[in-house]
Amino acid sequence: MKSSTLKPYSVPLLLCQLSLLLLSACGPSASTNDSANRPGASAEDASTSGKPLTGPQSPEAADTLILALGDSLYAGYNLDRGEGFPEELQNALVADGMNVFVVNAGVSGDTSAAGRQRLDYALEGLPRNPDLVVLGLGGNDMLRGIEPEQTRANLDAMLKTLSDRKIKVVLTGMLAAPNLGPEYADAFNPIFPDLAKQYDAALYPFFLDGVVTDSELMLEDGIHPNAEGVDLVVEKIAPVVTGALAE
């Protein structure tokens, strides 16, 4: 199992930013600007402005197929077309010489339970099994105070499904906001490294590492990354994805 090492950050600022997460869930409803590169989506689902998608324009045209399954942090919340995490991840991987298509299966407001319910649908909507699933859910569970045991059970079930299908996984983690208290954090934070180890999945410990502490990389809501923030997230996660595919 490979993991990414988080660089030191300003703890007080990080705690302050994470506290703000309690004021609002990660996109309680889908934004009209959520990226549209997802199963069953059409070009009308997102703004026509923004950055073009490089490389294959459909799953069928790609040698490597990746499914990015997550919440608003994946969906491209309030970003222009092509600026969301899945699209920028594809652009970065294509720039590295890969013929890859990344399907955006991010849905704003999704909990781990909702993701678990639609996992089979997302997989069945693809022309074939993906070579890799980048999985990022659980943030909304934390924001809503859902018991960590439920989050763990849902992610466990999803990872088991992917393991049974012999699909590689990169798990992107989340940290509990400090306002929830140390007991909640002690139960929630280990979910991601524990499950990554159990299922031999690659782990990126904290999706917003190096971004949430910099207001210039965040939208005005203080919760979601802006286009520049997404670029930094992709810069740090892309090598983890490349490593997972190479195993």
Burial 218-233 (b: 16+ CB within 10 A, else e): beeeebbbbbebbbbb
What gap in Å lies between CA 53 and CA 94, rounded to an integer?
10
State the DSSP code for 71.
Answer: S
- Give catalytic status of residue 221 as yes or no: yes
Q: Do 114 and 151 contact (CB within 8 A), yes or no?
A: no
For the chain, how many residues are written? 247
Q: Is 19 annotated in the active site?
A: no
CA-nearest of 169, 232, 242 to 199 is 169
Which of 34, 108, 224, 231 is the catalytic position? Answer: 224
> Are 241 and 66 spatial neighbours (Cβ–Cβ below 8 Å)?
yes
Given the residues 80, 156, 194, 221, select the one marked as catalytic. Answer: 221
Alpha-helix residue ranges (DSSP H) falling in the chain: 11-20, 72-75, 85-95, 112-124, 139-143, 148-164, 182-188, 191-198, 227-246
**Which one of the listed residues 72, 108, 110, 209 is annotated catalytic?**
72
Mark whether 29 is an active-site residue: no
Partner residues linked to 133 by β-bridges: 67, 169
Structure tokens at 3: 């993991």
- How far is Cα 101 from Cα 55, in angstroms, rounded to an integer? 7
Active-site amino acid positions: 72, 221, 224
